[in-house]
Amino acid sequence: MVEGGHALSGQVHISGAKNSAVALIPAAILSDYPVTVDNLPLISDVEILSDLLQYIGADVDLNGEAITIDPREISPMPLPNGHVKKMRASYYMMGAMLGKFKEAEIGLPGGCNLGPRPIDQHIKGFEALGAFVSNEQGSIYLRANELRGARIYLDVVSVGATINIMLAAARAKGRTVIENAAKEPEIIDVATILSSMGAVIKGAGTDVIRIEGIEELQGCAHTIIPDRIEAGTYMITAATMGREVTIENIIPDHLESLTAKLQEMGVEVVAKDDAMVVRSHTNLKGVDIKTLVHPGFPTDLQQPATALLAKANGTSIITDTIYNARFKHIDELRRMGADIKVEGRSAMVNGGIKLEGARVKASDLRAGASLVIAGLFAEGITEISGVHHIDRGYEAFEDKLIGLGARLWREEMTDEEQEQLKSS
């Protein structure tokens, strides 16, 4: 439940990046010794992965923001569909287990339902490294006599395929070159941990990555980079309702595309060394936004940004070139009174209309964030169901917002309400 209309101010501390954490935890099993990862976000995706590692025999010590993974007793057990389906990044267990054991059996991943999310480029990469891959009854089987470095050109720039190939290649014989690789900061984070374990990786953060595989990888300690999407979500929230909000523990360079758009809208954004100060204004101007691969505007901020555009004056067009069906939040924003039309991969937002609290449903993680933001500036109470999606990627979302002066709380649903939600 979100009660709208309360101005926000103060500081909010940003957690470690979800999209790094979910790759670094599987990466740890490539080592033959304990690996510690720090600045871990306390989110359900991390808990699920940590359960998966324990299931295959790893000794996992999850202690607040730090996780120590001792992979010495793990075995290549088939990974059950149940847990794997709860999140997208369980697909990194394919690259990690293939690298470690030269075999893996794992259910197809779940995660946010953003329209089709194929993994053909992951498979193409594994096959190029020498794996035989088959898809039987919803599970992927991977086997290799040996993994050999290869030159792999990605037909689509894919974060997941780039990282998955890096994981398997870290223990392949010889050199792997990934061309047309994704350049997201989380890819550099994965390269950093693999390098700390002893693999030689060059070019992460550019579109050509070279990996020299190593037979045995060492243990190491690694600190996760800050979550630029969580930070961006609070920047957008502050732009709608903030007097002055400081977003702390971030890397401002990772947020340049959002900063530029907020400034174009009339929001004051000042970058400090590891923080951003955001001051909103009552008269925000609509802008056009197009999501692109990094360093372009991130698709993961498209849904939160749509809520902001509904508040800004004038017409805005927001186009998602990465996921052209990532618009399930729009119908819900409309229930709150927003005037938004979806045409193809774009949403036309006629902004400046007062929103009113309503009963809405979060269909995925960032849709949930978008609806909370809208609820914060709408009149009255917004009741959001499906908030378990939010827990996949935002640590202590309510507490952090309450710390800024927002009013929101959770209420348990009755059995009847849960049934209604499932069937709607």
Ligand X SMILES: CC(=O)N[C@H]1[C@@H](OP(=O)(O)OP(=O)(O)OC[C@H]2O[C@@H](n3ccc(=O)[nH]c3=O)[C@H](O)[C@@H]2O)O[C@H](CO)[C@@H](O)[C@@H]1O
Ligand Y SMILES: C=C(OP(=O)(O)O)C(=O)O
**Residues flagged as binding site for UDP-N-acetyl-alpha-D-glucosamine:** 88, 117-121, 300, 322
150 touches which of ligand X, ligand Y, none (CB within 5 to 8 A by kind)? none
Applying CB under 6 A, the span of 84-92, 98-106, 124-132, 285-293 interacting with ligand Y comes to 84-92
Instruction: State how far the Cα of 191 lies from the Cα of 345, in Å rounded to an integer.
Output: 33
Cα–chain center distance at 293: 14
Applying CB under 6 A, the span of 75-83, 85-93, 261-269, 286-294 interacting with ligand Y comes to 85-93
Q: Applying CB under 6 A, which of residues 111, 125, 130, 226 lies at the interface with ligand Y?
A: 111
The one-letter amino acid code at 123 reads I
- Report the residue closest to ligand Y, judged by CB: 111
Applying CB under 6 A, the span of 48-56, 76-84, 155-163, 191-199 interacting with ligand X comes to 155-163
Q: Does 300 bind ligand Y (CB under 6 A)?
A: yes
Q: How far is the CB of 37 from ligand Y (least distance, A)?
A: 17
Based on the residue annotation, tell me whether 220 is a catalytic residue of this protein: no
Strand partners, 359: 383
Long-range contacts of 258-264 (CB under 8 A, 24+ apart): 258/232, 258/297, 258/298, 258/301, 258/305, 259/235, 261/287, 261/289, 261/297, 261/305, 262/235, 262/236
Q: Which helix (H) or strand (E) holds 320?
A: strand 314-320
Which residue numbers belong to the known binding site for phosphoenolpyruvate? 18-19
**Hey, CA dihedral for 153, 158, 164, 166, is it positive or negative?**
positive
Q: Does 89 bind ligand X (CB under 6 A)?
A: yes
Residue 221's φ and ψ, nearest 5 degrees, are: -125, 140
Q: How far is the CB of 158 from ligand Y (least distance, A)?
A: 11
Q: Does 179 bind ligand X (CB under 6 A)?
A: no
Q: Does 302 bind ligand X (CB under 6 A)?
A: no
Instruction: State how far the Cα of 225 lies from the Cα of 69, in Å rounded to an integer.
Output: 19
Query: Binding string to ligand X for residues 202 to 221, with x set by CB under 6 A, is what?
Result: --------------------
Neighbour-count burial of 196, counting CB atoms closer than 10 A to its CB (0-12 exposed, 13-18 middle, 19+ buried): middle
Residue number, 134 or 218, with CB nearest to ligand X: 134
Half-sphere exposure of 98 (CA within 13 A, CB side): 34
Q: Does 112 bind ligand Y (CB under 6 A)?
A: yes
Q: How many residues bind ligand X (CB under 6 A)?
A: 21
Q: Applying CB under 6 A, which of residues 15, 50, 68, 158 lies at the interface with ligand X?
A: 158
Query: Binding string to ligand Y for residues 312 to 351, with x set by CB under 6 A, is what?
Result: ----------------------------------------
β-strands 314-320, 289-291 pairing? parallel
Instruction: State how far the Cα of 278 lies from the Cα of 105, in Å rounded to an integer.
Output: 47
Asked, as a colleague might, if the bond just before 295 is cis with ω within 30 of 0, I would say: yes
Instruction: State how far the Cα of 124 lies from the Cα of 112, in Å rounded to an integer.
Output: 23
- Catalytic hit among 35, 112, 276, 284: 112
Q: Does 389 bind ligand X (CB under 6 A)?
A: no
Convert 126-185 into a string of H (helix), E (strand) and C (coil): HHHCCCEEEEECCEEEEECCCCECCEEECCCCCHHHHHHHHHHHCCCECEEEEECCCCCH
Applying CB under 6 A, the span of 151-159, 232-240, 241-249, 259-267 interacting with ligand X comes to 151-159
Q: Applying CB under 6 A, which of residues 335, 345, 366, 389 lies at the interface with ligand Y?
A: 366
Q: What is the contact surface with ligand X in residues (CB under 6 A)?
A: 19, 22, 88-89, 116-122, 156, 158-161, 182, 299-300, 322-323
- By annotation, the residues acting in catalysis are 112
Q: What is the contact surface with ligand Y in residues (CB under 6 A)?
A: 87-89, 111-112, 300, 365-366, 393
